[in-house]
């Protein structure tokens, strides 16, 4: 998570250079948020490592820890939602990693990462059914729940329940195939690629489907242009201003990038 927020420039997102399309967040608030969440990461891992029983039963334990972590995050940020989605996903994937470590050891290979993603799918197999079963009767809805009712988008919960296909199919193969690049360049190019492919619920929430399709098209063009690194950075700086004017922030892509970085570190890709 430190790697993700430090990576710059990231269009529409908080980084070392700008606050992106956010008036209530900055780089230092993200640092405070990560520091507040970090003590809970070992708890997620240990919950998986010590779990004995059905995989689906692990989710309720992870969610309980996750709610405590979320409270700590909101206390540190004075109510600003900096990492709610990332905390949710790290709870699941660290829990799945702990479960996997019961019978396996580091360092991991690509096959190990794929097995962990499959475990995350098994852990969350009842998630969508339970979370969305009575959604129409809820008095207060999250952004993700509103999007589900509006157009069926399942957001990060859908990614989790499907075993994070954006990681398995897009981001992790890209990181592996281009691991020879310097770390910063690799992550910047990976973010562009991910933004071109992802159905980002943050973009859908702020701008709707037309904004998402437009962003994907523009990022696809930038990805295919394969600019030299200085030119890529300049293009991203300019696109940051574009997304600020549109009030768009690809937070879903940012969260998935941080998850991709986690697996890249496990696989020792950099």
* pLDDT values of the chain reduced to their tens digit, one per residue, 270 residues: 999 999 999 999 999 999 999 999 999 999 999 999 999 999 999 999 999 999 999 999 999 999 999 999 999 999 999 999 999 999 999 999 999 999 999 889 999 999 999 999 999 988 766 665 656 566 566 665 565 555 555 678 889 989 999 999 999 999 999 999 999 999 999 999 999 999 999 999 999 999 999 999 999 999 999 999 999 999 999 999 999 999 999 999 999 999 999 999 999 999
Q: Where are the domains of the chain?
A: 2-266
Vertex 117 angle, CA 143 and 82, to 5°: 35
Are 120 and 90 a contacting pair, CB within 8 Å? Answer: no
CATH fold for domain 2-266: Triphosphoribosyl-dephospho-CoA protein (1.10.4200)
pTM, two decimals, is 0.91
SS (H, E, C) the chain: CHHHHHCCCCCCCCCCCCCCCCCCCCHHHHHHHHHHHHHHHHHHHHHHHCCCCCHHHHHHHHHHHHHHHHHHHHHHHCCCCCCHHHHHHHHHHHHHHHHHHCCCCCCCCHHHHHHHHHHHHHHCCCHHHHHHCCHHHCCCCCHHHHHHHHHCCCHHHHHHHCCCHHHHHHHHHHHHHCCCCCHHHHHHHHHHHHHHHCCCHHHHHHHHHHHHHHHHHHHHHHHHHCCCHHHHHHHHHHHHHHHHHHCCCCHHHHHHHHHHHHHHHHCCCC
Are 160 and 120 a contacting pair, CB within 8 Å? Answer: yes
Alpha carbon of 97 to those of 37, 115, 231: distances in Å? Answer: 18, 9, 38
Are 145 and 157 a contacting pair, CB within 8 Å? Answer: no
Are 243 and 21 a contacting pair, CB within 8 Å? Answer: yes
């Amino acid at each position: 998570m430190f790697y993700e927020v430090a990576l710059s420039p990231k269009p529409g997102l908080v980084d070392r250079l700008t606050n992106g399309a956010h008036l209530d967040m900055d780089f230092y608030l993200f640092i405070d948020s990560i520091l507040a969440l970090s003590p809970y990461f070992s708890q997620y891992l240990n919950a998986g490592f010590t779990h004995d029983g059905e995989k689906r039963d692990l989710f309720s334990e992870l969610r309980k820890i996750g709610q405590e972590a979320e409270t700590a995050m909101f206390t540190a940020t004075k109510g600003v939602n900096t990492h709610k989605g990332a905390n949710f996903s790290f709870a699941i994937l660290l829990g799945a990693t702990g479960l996997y470590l019961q019978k396996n050891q580091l360092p991991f290979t690509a096959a190990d990462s794929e097995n962990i993603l499959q475990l995350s799918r098994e852990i969350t197999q009842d998630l969508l059914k339970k979370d969305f079963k009575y959604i129409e009767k809820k008095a207060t809805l999250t952004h993700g729940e509103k999007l589900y009712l509006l157009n069926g988008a399942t957001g990060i919960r859908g990614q989790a329940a499907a075993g994070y296909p954006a990681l398995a199919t897009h981001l992790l193969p890209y990181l592996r195939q281009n691991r020879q690049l310097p770390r910063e360049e690799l992550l910047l190019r990976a973010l562009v690629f991910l933004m071109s492919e992802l159905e980002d619920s943050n973009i859908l929430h702020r701008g709707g489907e037309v904004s998402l399709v437009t962003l994907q098209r523009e990022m696809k063009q930038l990805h295919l242009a394969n600019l030299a690194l200085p030119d890529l950075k300049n293009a991203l700086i300019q696109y940051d201003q574009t997304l600020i004017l549109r009030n768009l922030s690809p937070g879903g892509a940012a969260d998935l990038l941080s998850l991709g970085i986690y697996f890249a570190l496990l696989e020792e890709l950099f």
